[in-house]
Amino acid sequence: MRKLRGLAESSDARVAEVGKEMEGLMKTWMAAIYAARIDPPPEGLRIRYAAAIERLRQQCEAHQADDHKVLGSVAREFLYEGKVILRPVNEPHLPLTNNAAEQALRHWVIARYLSHGTRSEEGSRAFALLASVIETCRRREACAWRYLGTVIEAARKGLELPALLAIPVAA
């Protein structure tokens, strides 16, 4: 939506017109998706908004090679990712954004940036695995340190590694 808002506010009247139309289509779908979560239309949103979806596709086809760099980029993005972008039209229960996923990863991305990343593929895998274990423990209200200690102890003794469910809740 930010990209479409930017196009709609362009000083180039032609680009602004296209941006306003595309933004209007997306706002209409968003409102319809929210409404369908409460009272789904019998024919489904994809059928109800088929003409609007086709109009967006036509706009994207027409502007994918546009001289305006951002308009062309947005048009190509919609053409390449259209099925994913419009998936909530078919499945209104899905979130309209990936903000939750981005927020969950944000502190790990910052940690990797501050530590200047890893130096090997093995280090990258270890970092990702630890991040996953720590986040899973946090969500299950288990102590990540206790779990990691138990795993290391079991590995040193050659025992089977414990399942996360076997670890007591953080005290």
Token duo for residue 23: 């933004």
Given this model, what pLDDT does residue 167 score? 59
77-82-86 Cα angle (round to 5): 130
* Cα distance between residue 92 and residue 144, in whole Å: 35
Per-residue pLDDT tens digits for 42-96: 888 989 999 999 999 999 999 999 999 999 999 999 999 988 888 899 888 888 8
pTM of the model: 0.58
Closest CA to 167 of 139, 136, 138, 146: 146
Residue ranges of domains in the chain: 2-90, 99-166
Coil, strand, or helix at residue 87? helix
Phi, psi of 91 (to 5 degrees): -130, 80
Per-residue pLDDT tens digits for 106-150: 777 787 778 887 788 898 888 888 888 888 888 888 889 999 999
